[in-house]
Structure 1
Amino acid sequence: MSRKGNNTAGILAGLLAGAAAGVILGMLYAPEEGKETRKKIRNKANDLKDQAKDKYGEVSERVKDQYSNISSTFKETANSVAHTVKDGYDKYKDQIVAKTTDVVKDVEAELNDLKS
């Protein structure tokens, strides 16, 4: 994940932890019965858990999309490089064959001149 993604996840985790701590402290100091306070803490913890699951799902989807985009880009680049290398090989192969043919003809001509 990019550095921006790491920062976002860190900020999100910090906000959720801070919110949870604030809610719990507020409930503990509220003038209510212990049973009612524990119920509120449990409900709030469940709410925070659900929010965390939702955020995890969103971040997970973004990461999958980014991976897919990066993977596609990599494949396209690799294919492009492969085609460029193949085209270069074909170009130079043809040039080498042509030069070799010229050298063979020159050698044959020289040999023929020597025979005469």
Structure 2
Amino acid sequence: MSRKSNNTAGVLAGLLAGAAAGVILGMLYAPEEGKETRKKIKTKANDFKDQAKSKYDEVSEKVKDQYGNISSTFKETAENVANTVKDGYDKYKDQIVSKTTDMVKNVESELNDLK
């Protein structure tokens, strides 16, 4: 995961935690019956849990997509490098074989001339 994604996730977690704490403190100090306050706290806690799960799923999906993109790009780049190396090898191999064959023919010719 990139540093930017880590920062975004951290900020998101901080905002959700701060909002949850604010809502809970507000309800605890509100002039209502305890049973009603606990019910509101439970409802808000469930709302925050659902929001956190939703954001987690969203971030998780983005990470999976980015991983897939990076993986595909890496694979494609590796294949391109391998093909380039193979093409270069084949090109230089053919040149070396050709030059070596020419040298052998020249040496044989020189040897024949010496006879």
Q: Please provide the CA RMSD for this pair.
A: 0.8
Counterparts of 1:91 and 1:72, CA distance in 2? 28
| 1:1-116 aligned within 5 A | 1-115=1-115
Deviation at 1:83, TM superposition (A): 0.7
Q: Which amino acid is the alignment partner of residue 101 of structure 2?
A: T
Residue aligned with 2:31, SS: coil
Deviation at 1:35, TM superposition (A): 1.2
Q: Which amino acid is the alignment partner of residue 35 of structure 2?
A: K
Counterparts of 2:58 and 2:92, CA distance in 1? 51
CA deviations 1:16-46 (Å, max 9, x no partner) are: 0000100110011011111111111111000
Higher relative contact order (CA 8 A, sep 6+): 2
The TM-score, its normalising length taken from structure 1, stands at 0.96
**Any stretches of 5+ residues in structure 2 without a counterpart?**
none
Q: Which amino acid is the alignment partner of residue 30 of structure 1?
A: A
Counterparts of 1:14 and 1:41, CA distance in 2? 19
Deviation at 1:61, TM superposition (A): 0.8
> Kindly, what percent of the aligned residue pairs are identical?
86
Q: Which amino acid is the alignment partner of residue 81 of structure 2?
A: V
Counterparts of 2:92 and 2:71, CA distance in 1? 32
Residue aligned with 2:32, SS: coil
Deviation at 1:2, TM superposition (A): 1.4
Counterparts of 1:114 and 1:13, CA distance in 2? 89
Deviation at 1:92, TM superposition (A): 0.2
Deviation at 1:72, TM superposition (A): 0.8
The TM-score, its normalising length taken from structure 2, stands at 0.97
Aligned residues: 115
Counterparts of 2:41 and 2:101, CA distance in 1? 88
